C-alpha cells in the first residue's frame, strides 16, 4: 500500500477488505486472470463440465479415471476466470463539500475519496481493472481503466486533487462514461444523489447492461436535523438561502427527507441498482459490506 493510499484508507476500511469481493451479477465477457466467471470455456481454475474428446484437444485435459470407468474419452472443461472492470463515478459537485458542524474537517467528498480508495485497493488485490470518472464544476474528468500499483497511485493523485464545486454537467459532457464503461462493467457511484441528473445516469447505465451500484453519502445533520431557533440554510450549488425557525420545521423536514430517501431507494431498486447509504458519523466500511460482502461472510 502506498503512502498516498494510507492517507485515504482508515483502519476500519483496511480491516474490512478481506471480507469484501467486487463482483458482477452478469458473466464477465472478457478473458484474463481474475476472480470472476467468464462466458468463455476452456482451461481455467474452476471445473465446469465434461464433454466428449475431439481431435486436437490437449491430452492433458482428458480425465483418465473417467476413461477407465467408461472406456470413453472425456475432456474436463472449466470456466475461465476473467478480470472485472470497476468504474468509480465520484460526485464532487458543490454539495459534496458539506460537513457536519461537529466535524468540520470531514466532508461528503472526504468519505467518497476513502470509499473509492478502498474499492481500488480491493480491485488491485483481485487483479481487476479500475478507473475513475470524476464530476465537478459542470465537467467530467476520466482516468482510463488500468491495473497495478501505478494505476492505483494515478487514481489516488486524481482524487487528492479533486475539489468540490459547481453542479452536474449536461448529458453531452457525460458521454465518456458511456464510451468507456462497457457492458458488464461494474459502475459504483459515490454521491449525495441530490442531483436528478446523476440518478438518471445510473438508470441509463443499468438499462444498457452495466452492473450499477451506488452509495448515497449524507451528513448527520440531514438525518437528525439538530438545529434550533432561527437558522439560515444555504444551497451550496445555487446559493439560494432560507431563513426559518428550525425547531418549527424539524418534524416536517425529517418526514419529508425520510420519504425522499425511500422514494430514491425504490427508484434505484426498480432499475436493478444495488444501493447503500452512508452517514458521515457512521463506520465507513458499512456500505461496502452491504454491497460487496463475500458470499461466505454474509451474516457474519
CA distance 217 to 214: 10
- pLDDT value, residue 82: 52
- The CA distances from residue 80 to 53, 77, 122, 220, in Å, are 19, 9, 21, 45
Is 34 a residue whose pLDDT tops 90? Answer: no
- The residue that leads in pLDDT, 89 or 246, is 89
Domain boundary assignment for the chain: 3-26+83-291, 36-82
CA distance 220 to 278: 10
**Options 3.40.50.10490, 3.20.20.80, 3.40.50.410, 3.40.640.10; which CATH number does 3-26+83-291 get?**
3.40.50.410
CA distance 180 to 149: 21
Report pTM: 0.80
Residues 6+ apart with CB under 8 A from 74: 50, 51, 52, 53, 62, 63, 66, 67
- pLDDT value, residue 81: 47
Residues 6+ apart with CB under 8 A from 222: 257, 279
**pLDDT digit string, tens, across residues 219-233:** 999 999 999 888 888
SS3 52: strand
SS3 231: strand
Backbone angles phi, psi at 185, to 5 degrees: -70, 155
What is the band of 139 on the pLDDT scale with cuts at 50, 70, 90?
very high
Dig out the grid coordinates for 35 from the structure: 476472480
**pLDDT digit string, tens, across residues 150-177:** 999 999 999 999 999 999 999 889 989 9
- pLDDT value, residue 31: 42
Average pLDDT over residues 268-294: 95
Amino acid at each position: 500500500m502506498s503512502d498516498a493510499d494510507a492517507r485515504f484508507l482508515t483502519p476500519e476500511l483496511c480491516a474490512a477488505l478481506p471480507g469484501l469481493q467486487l463482483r458482477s451479477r452478469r458473466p464477465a465477457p472478457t478473458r484474463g486472470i481474475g476472480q470472476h466467471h467468464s462466458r468463455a470455456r476452456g482451461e481455467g481454475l474452476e471445473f465446469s463440465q465434461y464433454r466428449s474428446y475431439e481431435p486436437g484437444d490437449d491430452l492433458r485435459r482428458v480425465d483418465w479415471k473417467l476413461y477407465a470407468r467408461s472406456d470413453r474419452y472425456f475432456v474436463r472443461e472449466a470456466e475461465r476466470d476473467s478480470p472485472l472492470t470497476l468504474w468509480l463515478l465520484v460526485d464532487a459537485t458543490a454539495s459534496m463539500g458539506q460537513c457536519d458542524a461537529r466535524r468540520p474537517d470531514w466532508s461528503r467528498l472526504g468519505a467518497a475519496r476513502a470509499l473509492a480508495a478502498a474499492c481500488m485497493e480491493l480491485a488491485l488485490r483481485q487483479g481487476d481493472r479500475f478507473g475513475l470518472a470524476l464530476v465537478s464544476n459542470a465537467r467530467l474528468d476520466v482516468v482510463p481503466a488500468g491495473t497495478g500499483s501505478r494505476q492505483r497511485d494515478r487514481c489516488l493523485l486524481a482524487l487528492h486533487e479533486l475539489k468540490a464545486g459547481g453542479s452536474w454537467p449536461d448529458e453531452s459532457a457525460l458521454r465518456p462514461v458511456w464510451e468507456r464503461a462497457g457492458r458488464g462493467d461494474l459502475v459504483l457511484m459515490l454521491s449525495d444523489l441530490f442531483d436528478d441528473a446523476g440518478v438518471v445516469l445510473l438508470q441509463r447505465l443499468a438499462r444498457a447492461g452495466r452492473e450499477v451500484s451506488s452509495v448515497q453519502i449524507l451528513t448527520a445533520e440531514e438525518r437528525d436535523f439538530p438545529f434550533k431557533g432561527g437558522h439560515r440554510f444555504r444551497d451550496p450549488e445555487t446559493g439560494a438561502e432560507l431563513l426559518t425557525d428550525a425547531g418549527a420545521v424539524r418534524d416536517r423536514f425529517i418526514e419529508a427527507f425520510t420519504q425522499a430517501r425511500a422514494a430514491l431507494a425504490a427508484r434505484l431498486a426498480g432499475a436493478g441498482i444495488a444501493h447503500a447509504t452512508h452517514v458521515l458519523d457512521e463506520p465507513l466500511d458499512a456500505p461496502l459490506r452491504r454491497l460487496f460482502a463475500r458470499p461466505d461472510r454474509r451474516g457474519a
